Amino acid sequence: MKYVKLGNSNLSVSKVCMGCMGFGDPNNGMHSWTLPEKESKEIIKYGLDNGINFFDTAIGYQNGTSEQYLGKTINEYAERDDIVIATKFLPRTEEEIKNNISGQEHIKQMANKSLENLGLDYIDLYIYHMWDFDTPIYDVLDGLNQLVEDGLVKYIGISNCFAWQLAKSNMIAKQEGFKEFVSVQGHYNLIFREEEREMLPLCLEDNIALTPYSSLASGRLSRLPTAESKRLKEDAYAKIKYDSTSTQDNLIIERVNELASNYNVSMTEVALSWLETKVTSPIVGATKKHHVDGAVNSVDLKLTDDDLSYLEELYVPHELVGVMADNNKKLNENEKVWMKNTKNRI
């Protein structure tokens, strides 16, 4: 495994990050395909054994059980200071707003609950999960800064935002003497490259780490379009993100398969190797050991410039989907895809 600095932080992270959305009680949250505790711990430990030290979870993943499974495994099998844990907090609820719970109070409550779930004393990277139009960004930044000053959080990151939102936030933080966001977690992979328009140049300019999610397009870049899996069948959110563009995307996926055959490696290795030329550390979900193998092996695969061009040339612009589509306007909670079936949020 290779390691790299996470943007303007002092954190040294593995070149791939294990995404933990696939871990958690299958009967308690948004997804039916997640792994229960025993199987989750086996995959996390396998990642540790293969050099992965960077793990990404969220309080919203299976109502906190993803955090719980990750924390138990880290406490059992790793030295805490060797591991980088990222987790994310959700926006204020309508009830909290009605009860005048401030953004600062909300963030502190969520962080304390995540620390309880994880069984840890601090969070390495605490991430603003999605833009909250009902909470002033000053309050968000102030609340996060207080967590850093209290020693509960080392660094802060942001997810599912536009480049202007990240730039504005860090400008305000600089003016107020608050901690700035050192990383951004957006939707970015070989068949969804909209981050290259403005976010990628901003991050290169300001040394902000890119740690994209959906690095394999919910598994679509790891197998031919004719293949099936439980997640492909049951993940309704992923269908929203990819089904409408599948015809054009499949042409790129076929090229991934072609290069994989040429190099005698997996499609996963090719797709991730391409992404690793663009970002700091892609987040890769894993529910089987061979998923971990593909992620780890991708770090050593070197694609040529011709390979990269061959993979990129068929891309066409995509409309924003999922959380980023919601980011364009205020919607009530029943309309937001990320809120469906999410309960017991703190």
Active site residues: 61
Beta-strand pair 54-56/123-128: unpaired
Closest CA to 127 of 98, 162, 154, 93: 154
Strands 283-285 and 17-19: parallel
Report how far Cα 294 is from the mean position of its chain's Cα atoms: 18
Helices and strands, counts by H and E, the chain: 14, 10
Q: Which residues contact 207 (CB under 8 A, 6 or more apart)?
A: 7, 8
Q: Are 270 and 256 in contact (CB under 8 A)?
A: yes
- Residue carrying the six token digits 């660094």: 155
Three-state secondary-structure class, residue 135: coil
In this structure, which amino acid lies at residue 120? L
Q: What is the largest CA-CA distance in the chain?
A: 60
Return the amino acid letter for 293. D
Between CA 106 and CA 110 the distance in angstroms is 6
